[in-house]
């Protein structure tokens, strides 16, 4: 635990959600503030569903500079904001808010964070055939980010209806070919045929559910790039099996760090120390794994 001097000018940032006990964002952001020598501090606030409106108003009154917004508030916060970034509006979910002179503006850095995490590994979505697993909040952000770039998108979800709704919204907004299927082995075989990139946005494989995986290892071909947005554990069963199959893999830690780095930039106006944030997030995750 780092201790730092809090002054009369310290600016406050944080995360609101429930649960927030295991968040690694404080470790990541506080290390970044410290390394740039800026008078900011980041804390986590456990905010229950029914308390969201008073929390947002209270944070405004306390002149809090900015907040990450996590489950279960990413959608419900929208009507409480003064302004909404067009991408966040399209996605229908907000994960970062910024207090500009008393006005809350909402953004979604999950979408760009995902694209940046891919780009830094030299993976581009342009012209690719992509399979996305899951149709929840994270999938919405990632699907919208990819839909403007890739050639073909298939969304598979345990509950077919939510995949169908998402596919329908995407086809209204983008020219991409998009399909919705139920998440089962038969449909996975079909979707992965000729696919370039597979993205898991479901919570399967997330601690403590570490033995489960959304895709059986024998379905993964070496030509596939497998991206998991689950970051706890950093190497999920899906990624371990993909690696074994000779596929390229991208861990959720990369997206976690990038969405945080983009939020940091919005609150401070400064270039985030990305490598430091990555190290700190990994270190904090390791602590939780113990
Ligand atoms: P997030 O913001 O992380 O996307 P979410 O909105 O709660 O969280 O979405 C979770 C996603 O994981 C959903 O697509 C969910 O499928 P359903 O729509 O059928 O609920 C998926 N998911 C969660 N647990 C799952 C499981 N055991 N098997 C398959 N899919 C699962």
Collapsed DSSP state (helix, strand, coil) of residue 248: strand
Question: How far apart (Å, rounded) are the C-alpha atoms in residues 284 and 27?
Answer: 7
Question: Pairing between strand 96-100 and 66-69?
Answer: antiparallel
Which class for 279: exposed (0-12), middle (13-18), buried (19 or more C-beta within 10 A)?
middle
Is ligand 1 within 6 A of the CB of residue 159? Answer: yes
Contact 236, 230 (CB under 8 A): yes
Average pLDDT over residues 184-212: 97
In this predicted model, what pLDDT tens digit does every residue of 223-237 receive, in sequence order?
999 999 999 999 999
Task: Please tell me the distance from the alpha carbon of residue 102 to that of residue 88, in angstroms, as a whole number.
Answer: 20
Ligand 1 site, residue 139, Cβ cutoff 6 A: yes
- Catalytic positions are 74
CA of residue 219 to ligand 1 center, whole Å:
21
- Ligand 1: nearest atom to the Cα of 159: 19
The domain locations on the chain are 11-108+254-289, 111-250
Mutate to test the pocket of ligand 1, among 158, 180, 184, 238 (most ligand atoms within 8 A of CB): 158
Instruction: Provide the 10 A C-beta neighbour count for residue 84.
Output: 20
| pLDDT over 70 percentage in the chain | 98
Return the ligand 1 atom nearest residue 134 CA. Answer: 14
CATH fold group of domain 11-108+254-289: Rossmann fold (3.40.50)
> Strands 177-182 and 66-69: what pairing?
unpaired
Give the closest residue (by CA) to ligand 1 atom 3: 138
Q: Could you report the per-residue pLDDT of 146-175, keeping only the tens digit for each? A: 999 999 999 999 999 999 999 999 999 999
Contacts of 209 (CB under 8 A, 6+ apart): 203
Tell me the best of 23, 109, 134, 236 to mutate to test the pocket of ligand 1, counting ligand atoms within 8 Å of each CB and taking the most. Answer: 134
pTM (whole model) above 0.75? yes
| Cα–Cα dist 242/220, whole Å | 6
pLDDT given at position 1 = 52
Residues 236-275 have pLDDT tens digits of: 999 999 999 999 999 999 999 999 999 999 999 999 999 9
Q: Are 126 and 275 in contact (CB under 8 A)?
A: no
- β-partners of residue 16 are 45, 69
User: What tens digit of pLDDT does each residue of 130-151 get?
Assistant: 999 999 999 999 999 999 999 9
**Alpha-carbon separation of residue 262 from 44, 89, 216, 244, 271 (angstroms):** 18, 18, 34, 32, 9
> With a 6 A CB cut-off, is 254 part of the ligand 1 pocket?
no
CB 225 within 8 A of CB 247: yes
CA 158–ligand 1 middle distance (angstroms) = 8
Q: Which CATH class is domain 111-250?
A: alpha beta
Asked whether 201 and 176 are in contact (CB, 8 A), the reply is: no
Cβ(162) – ligand 1 distance below 6 Å? yes
């Amino acid at each position: 635990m780092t201790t730092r001097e809090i002054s009369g000018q310290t600016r406050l940032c944080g995360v609101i959600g429930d649960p927030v006990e295991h968040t690694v964002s404080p470790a990541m952001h506080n290390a970044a503030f410290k390394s740039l020598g800026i008078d900011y501090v980041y804390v986590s606030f456990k905010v229950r569903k029914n308390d969201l409106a008073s929390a947002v108003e209270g944070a405004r009154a306390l002149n809090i500079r900015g907040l990450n917004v996590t489950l279960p508030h990413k959608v419900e916060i929208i009507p409480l904001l003064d302004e909404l970034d067009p991408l966040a509006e399209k996605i229908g979910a907000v994960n970062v808010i910024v207090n500009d002179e008393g006005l809350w503006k909402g953004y979604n850095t999950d979408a760009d964070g995902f694209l940046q995490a891919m780009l830094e590994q030299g993976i581009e979505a342009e012209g690719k055939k992509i399979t996305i697993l899951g149709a929840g909040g994270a999938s919405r952000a990632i699907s919208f980010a990819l839909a403007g770039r890739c050639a073909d998108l298939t969304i598979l979800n345990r509950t077919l209806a939510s995949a169908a709704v998402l596919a329908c919204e995407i086809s209204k907004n983008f020219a991409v070919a998009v399909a919705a299927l139920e998440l089962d082995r038969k449909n996975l075989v079909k979707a992965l045929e000729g696919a370039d990139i597979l993205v898991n946005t479901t919570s399967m494989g997330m601690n403590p559910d570490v033995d489960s995986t959304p895709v059986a290892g024998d379905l993964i071909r070496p030509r596939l790039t497998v991206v998991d947005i689950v970051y706890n554990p950093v190497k999920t069963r899906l990624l371990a099996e993909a690696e074994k199959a000779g596929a390229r893999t991208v861990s959720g830690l990369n997206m976690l760090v990038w969405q945080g780095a983009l939020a940091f930039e919005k609150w401070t106006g400064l270039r985030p120390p990305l490598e430091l944030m990555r190290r700190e997030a990994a270190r904090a995750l390791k602590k939780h794994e113990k």
